[in-house]
Structure 1
Amino acid sequence: MNNQRRLLISRRRFLASTGTGIAATAFAPHLVFAQKKGIVPTMIEEAAKAEIKVHALRGNISVLEGSGGNIAVLTGKDGKLLIDSGFTVSKQRIAAALKSLSPDPITRLINTHWHTDHTDGNDWVHSAGAEITAHVNTKKHLATATRVEGWQWTFPPAPAGALPTTTFSTERSEHHNGTNIALKYYGPAHTDSDVSVVFEQADVIHVGDTWWNGIYPFIDYSTGGSIDGMIRAAERNVATATDKMIVVPGHGPIGNKAGLVEFHTMLVTIRNNVAKLKKEGRSLQETIAAKPTAAYDAKFGQFLITPSFFTTLVYAGV
């Protein structure tokens, strides 16, 4: 059996196993509601009532937490630059948080990848005056109907105003508010559209959903993600980060290089454990029962993605 055929079968097993009950564990704080309503409506409902918390970093850079993925903000005379836009239902609270940072208008937006919890607010941010930059695959997915099987949801094409106005394939450099900003594509990782954003003078990096700090990550096989791609991205993050660098994850608290190293080790260890069980002929359910994530569950398995669901995600890609 060739690798492509084996992966296709693994993905089918993964999709068959991730019913509403399992998929609901991917993001929703209140799992019972997710099981009844579906993961995407639940994410939006949570964002509609969540407080937007502001965390000051350094170099006029802050992070807004509470609407989907973490939003980084660079203030200054050139206008505010945002990394990701959260959910539209959080608009008023995000706008108030931005106003508390400075009176500067919003002029730029960079998307770390295409997922709705990072791009749903694109349209209103663009309407406020922002030009949008993202990887070419982010624009591709936003411009068309895109299915995420792990969420059991098909996203319709985004409004024209939500689409990136500038795209790139591998790397891009920008200068804003006296800061050099380096954008770099990971290759397929969490999705096929993930990019990192480095604020060079401040030594701050936003790595999007290639890092979930203290949380097992979701991997979107529907749009090019894989466990091996996540590991490659984690390796690059470790190599890129300096000892003093502030690292902004897609989800979870602000961290540093030590956190990136721990995350990478966790991914490699669990991937190897699951691959060994699968090579022995264990079924998905038998692999889950063997608890290949046990050493990490106390820390990484207590919030969004359960150990069984993460095992399912890894099993699909080995």
Structure 2
Amino acid sequence: MNRKAFIQNFSLLSAGAIAAPSLLTRVFQEGPFYPLRNGAGYFTGRGGTIGWFVTDDAIVVIDSQFRNSAEEFISGITTYGNGPTRFLFNTHHHGDHVSGNGAFAESDYRIIAHQNVPELQQQASQGNDEVIPSASITFEDEFSIDAGDEQITAKYYGNAHTGGDSVIWFSNSNIAHMGDLVFNRWYPFIDRPGGASVRGWITLLETVADEADSDTLFIFGHGNSDFGVTGDRSDVLYMRDFLAKLIEHTEAGLAAGLSREEITSVNQFEEFPNHQSAGSRLSLPANLSVVYDELTADE
């Protein structure tokens, strides 16, 4: 898609403020904190994978999981990096990525997300008693902050897993947090009521892979235990190929005059033997049912 040059910059820190790698290695090798490189890492906890970047003067976080794991994260990260400048990016609106927002807001984090996320979050939370803070800073296409010698940029590429997904790029570290745009060898949740587009998702993954290189390290929102929540561009393209297979299978079934029940009565594709389900909602039949709806919506 054509993108506007709409980048908002916040200069957080002067160059050279990144915490010493030896400190980060010592601190975050324990528990659910995992360092990657140049002050960036990820936290497993409970829910969608949290990404983090720490300097002497700032903490930048991607996604907030749930309140209890958010509090665990905040306690652990601030013990070793308690800078006053704090930002939280929400990659999208789903509960396992935003339900800890309140804990972060209480710890003086400013919350950033694509402009569609607050409304989607509000719609998804209807009927719930708990009020979860949404982003106070929103953007249309891109939003960048500078932390030491690192530039962190959130990019929106169009409808995919939802209608408000962002990829968070750590430019100098060559790391990208994909949120739920990659379920690493899991059957994904495709949120059609929340604006999902499988065709758009495929295009997004191709674009991200083109923007990456062989050294780009990706953090994924979810992954099965054998493959984990980090990978490279080949894993991004594997996710693309899986989504393309969903389209191919459903189109072939429709062309053959098959019913929804016949098209969705498949539990695994031979080409993707490592995919795991997590209940009926995250399964191949559920994925095919959503794709069926997408492909027949205009009929």
TM-score interval, normalised by the smaller of the two chains: 0.7 to 0.9
- Is 2:58 the counterpart of 1:79? yes
> Once the 2 structures are TM-superposed, how far is the Cα of residue 94 of structure 1 from its aligned partner?
2.0
CA shift in 2, pair 1:106/1:212, >3 Å: farther
User: What does residue 284 of structure 1 align with?
Assistant: 260
**Structure 2 counterpart of 1:301, one-letter code:** Q
Q: 2:217 aligns with which of 246, 250, 254?
A: 246
Q: Conserved in 2, the CA contact under 8 Å of 1:77 and 1:104?
A: yes
Aligned length: 259
Give the Cα separation in 2 of the matches to 1:126 and 1:82: 12
> Once the 2 structures are TM-superposed, how far is the Cα of residue 302 of structure 1 from its aligned partner?
4.4
> Once the 2 structures are TM-superposed, how far is the Cα of residue 62 of structure 1 from its aligned partner?
1.0
- Is 2:162 the counterpart of 1:187? no
Q: Conserved in 1, the CA contact under 8 Å of 2:56 and 2:81?
A: no
Give the Cα separation in 2 of the matches to 1:281 and 1:52: 53
Q: 1:94 aligns with which of 55, 73, 98?
A: 73
Structure 1 segments of 4 or more deviating over 4 A?
154-158
> Once the 2 structures are TM-superposed, how far is the Cα of residue 96 of structure 1 from its aligned partner?
3.6
User: What does residue 163 of structure 1 align with?
Assistant: 134
CA shift in 2, pair 1:55/1:171, >3 Å: same
Give the Cα separation in 1 of the matches to 2:149 and 2:157: 26
Give the Cα separation in 1 of the matches to 2:45 and 2:85: 19
Q: Conserved in 1, the CA contact under 8 Å of 2:158 and 2:164?
A: yes
> Structure 1 length as normaliser, TM-score?
0.75
- Is 2:41 the counterpart of 1:62? yes
> Once the 2 structures are TM-superposed, how far is the Cα of residue 205 of structure 1 from its aligned partner?
0.5
More helix by share: 1
Post-superposition CA distance 1:86-137 (Å, at most 9, x none) = 1113234223432465344571101111111111111110110111111111
**Structure 2 counterpart of 1:300, one-letter code:** H
Post-superposition CA distance 1:160-199 (Å, at most 9, x none) = 7x12111101112211233111221021111111011111
User: What does residue 41 of structure 1 align with?
Assistant: none
**Structure 2 counterpart of 1:119, one-letter code:** V
Q: 1:208 aligns with which of 158, 176, 179?
A: 179
Q: Conserved in 1, the CA contact under 8 Å of 2:74 and 2:104?
A: no
Taking only aligned residues, the RMSD between alpha carbons, in angstroms, comes to 2.3
- Is 2:192 the counterpart of 1:221? yes
- Percent of counterpart pairs with the same letter? 25
Give the Cα separation in 2 of the matches to 1:218 and 1:230: 12
Give the Cα separation in 1 of the matches to 2:31 and 2:128: 27
> Once the 2 structures are TM-superposed, how far is the Cα of residue 293 of structure 1 from its aligned partner?
4.4
Q: Conserved in 1, the CA contact under 8 Å of 2:115 and 2:138?
A: yes
Query: 5+ residue gaps in structure 2?
Result: 1-29, 224-228
> Once the 2 structures are TM-superposed, how far is the Cα of residue 65 of structure 1 from its aligned partner?
0.8
**Structure 1 counterpart of 2:236, one-letter code:** L
User: What does residue 299 of structure 1 align with?
Assistant: 274
Give the Cα separation in 2 of the matches to 1:187 and 1:177: 30
